[in-house]
């Protein structure tokens, strides 16, 4: 087991490998893998430190995943067909489906939630048609019989209602010094791109000069300029956050008069 002196109690280790590392100093582990046997082995090892499991394998294999942990299960689905075929198991295991198939209309999501399965669009929002995203946000907020979360909108709304701190960067498991992504070679700065952590630090430092409008934006405490990171405009995130903010306000007024 490899020990890394940079790990502290606040660190969240995101493990993209079957090779365990020494996490005796830390409290939170996120496991990302396509092999259920590997996941079971790591869950057994890290026990209640496991906060999330990201499963990238065939959904049918998920039936072998141990129930012996409390964390959230995110299932990266390649096809709608797989989701429909395994809907019973996905519901029973309380999984969040992260669609990797194209989402072209509201119905591509409402068919999943209508089966009682939660959805997580965190990884797709920035690549989707903006109108479709906003229709899904409105569906989440206002469709009367919807009683299942659509993420990340649900977590953002809950943070507003419960007045708990939440940042889009943390939802994406990206924040310099807080998240350590680990692959077969050891500590990795980012699963997709080398040097990402340094680039992020530079981006944060450039906000006051490059994006001064962010500093006076009502959503800065949640967004922290995520809306502009590698994007032409933050129109979409501003709309999403506006709608969630208004809804939180309405709910608070309805509750307290
Ligand atoms: S919503 Fe736009 S302006 Fe506001 S903080 Fe985010 S990126 Fe900046």
pLDDT averaged per 10 residues in sequence order, the chain, 257 residues: 64 91 88 96 94 97 93 96 97 96 96 96 96 98 93 97 95 90 71 66 94 97 95 96 97 85
Whether residue 236 is found in the same domain as residue 134: no
Asked if 28 and 116 sit in the same domain, the reply is yes
Residues 6+ apart with CB under 8 A from 238: 217, 219, 227
51 and 133 part of one domain: yes
**Quick one: pLDDT at residue 186?**
66
Residues 6+ apart with CB under 8 A from 158: 164
Domain annotation covers residue 222: yes
Is 1 part of a structural domain of the chain? no
| Dihedral of the alpha carbons of 104, 105, 109, 112, in degrees to the nearest 10 | -100
pLDDT, tens digit, for every residue of 185-218?
766 644 444 567 788 899 999 999 999 999 999 9
- Total domains in the fold of the chain: 2
Distance 1 CA to ligand 1 centre (A): 41
Cα 200 to the center of its chain, rounded Å: 18
187 CA to centre of ligand 1 in angstroms: 31
| Residue 142 sits in the same domain as residue 184 | yes
- Domain annotation covers residue 237: yes
Same-domain pairing of 32 and 99: yes
Output the CA 241–ligand 1 centroid distance in Å: 9
**For residues 13 and 26, is the Cβ–Cβ distance under 8 A?**
yes
223: containing domain? 195-257
Rounded to the nearest angstrom, the distance between the alpha carbon of 185 and the centre of ligand 1 is 36
Same domain, 116 and 160: yes
- Which atom in ligand 1 lies closest to the alpha carbon of residue 234? 2
The candidate with the shortest Cα–Cα distance to 246, out of 156, 165, 184, 166, is 156
* 69 and 185, same domain (yes or no): yes
Q: Report CA Rg, the chain.
A: 19
Same domain, 231 and 106: no
Residue 28 resides in a domain = yes
Sheet bearing 96-99, strands edge to edge: 150-151, 118-120, 96-99, 72-77, 50-55, 28-33, 12-15, 179-183, 186-188
Ligand 1 shell residues, CB under 6 Å: 211, 213-214, 217, 219-220, 223, 225, 227-228, 234, 237-238
Q: Are residues 130 and 227 in the same domain?
A: no
**Dihedral, CA of residue 82, residue 236, residue 246 and residue 132, to nearest 10:** -40
Predicted pLDDT of residue 6: 64
């Amino acid at each position: 087991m490899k020990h890394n002196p940079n790990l502290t109690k606040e660190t969240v280790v995101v493990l993209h490998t079957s090779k365990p590392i020494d996490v005796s100093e830390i409290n939170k582990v996120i496991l990302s893998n396509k092999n259920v046997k590997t996941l079971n082995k790591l869950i057994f090892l890290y026990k209640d430190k496991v906060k999330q499991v990201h499963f990238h394998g065939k959904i049918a294999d998920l039936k072998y995943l141990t129930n012996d942990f409390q964390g959230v299960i995110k299932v990266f689905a390649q096809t709608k067909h797989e989701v429909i075929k395994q809907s019973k198991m996905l519901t029973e295991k309380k999984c969040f489906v992260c669609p990797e198939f194209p989402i072209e209309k509201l119905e591509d999501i409402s068919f999943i939630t209508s089966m009682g399965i939660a959805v997580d669009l965190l990884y797709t929002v920035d690549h989707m048609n903006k109108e479709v995203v906003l229709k899904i946000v409105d569906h989440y907020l206002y469709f009367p019989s919807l009683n299942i979360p659509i993420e990340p909108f649900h977590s953002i709304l809950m943070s507003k209602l419960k007045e708990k701190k939440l940042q889009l960067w943390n939802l994406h498991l990206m924040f310099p010094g807080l998240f350590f992504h680990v692959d077969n070679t050891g500590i990795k700065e980012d699963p997709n791109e080398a040097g990402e952590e340094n680039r992020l630090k530079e981006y944060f430092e450039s906000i006051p000069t490059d994006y001064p409008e962010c500093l006076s934006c009502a959503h800065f405490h949640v967004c922290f300029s995520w809306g502009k990171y590698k994007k032409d405009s933050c129109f979409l995130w501003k709309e999403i956050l506006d709608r969630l903010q208004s809804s939180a306000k309405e709910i608070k007024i309805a509750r307290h008069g």
